[in-house]
Amino acid sequence: MGIGWGAFKGRSGDNAAHAHHAIQMLLAESPQALWTPMAGWQSYRGVVIGHNQQHQLAPTSEDVVLVYLDPDSDAGRRVRMLLADGFTVLSDEQTNRARTAVNASEDRRLDRLLVEAIQPTPDADASMQSADPVIAALLAALPAAIPDSLPAARLAREAGLSTSRFLHRFSAHAGLPLRPYLRWRRLLTAMAGVMRGDPLTDAALAAGFADVAHFNRTVRRHFGITPGVLLRLNDRA
227-235 and 212-223 helices cross at what angle (nearest 10)? 60
Query: For residue 127, what pLDDT is reported?
Result: 46
pLDDT for residue 71: 92
Which residue in 203, 224, 221 sits closest to 212, CA to CA?
Answer: 203
Q: At what angle do helices 178-195 and 163-174 cross, to 10 degrees?
A: 50
Identify the pLDDT of residue 15.
66
pTM of the predicted structure, to 2 decimals = 0.85
The tens place of each residue's pLDDT in the chain, 237 residues long, gives 888 898 888 888 766 888 999 999 999 999 999 999 988 999 999 999 999 999 999 998 899 999 999 999 988 998 998 887 789 999 999 999 999 988 876 666 788 888 889 988 765 554 455 689 999 999 999 988 988 788 999 999 999 999 999 999 999 998 899 999 999 999 989 988 888 888 899 999 999 999 999 999 999 888 887 787 766 655 554
Q: What does the pLDDT read at residue 122?
A: 63
Burial 203-227 (b: 16+ CB within 10 A, else e): bbbbbbbeebebbbebbbebbbbeb
- pLDDT confidence of residue 10: 84
CB-based contact 87:38 (threshold 8 Å): yes
Q: With left for phi above 0 and alpha for psi between -120 and 50, is residue 19 left, alpha or beta?
A: beta
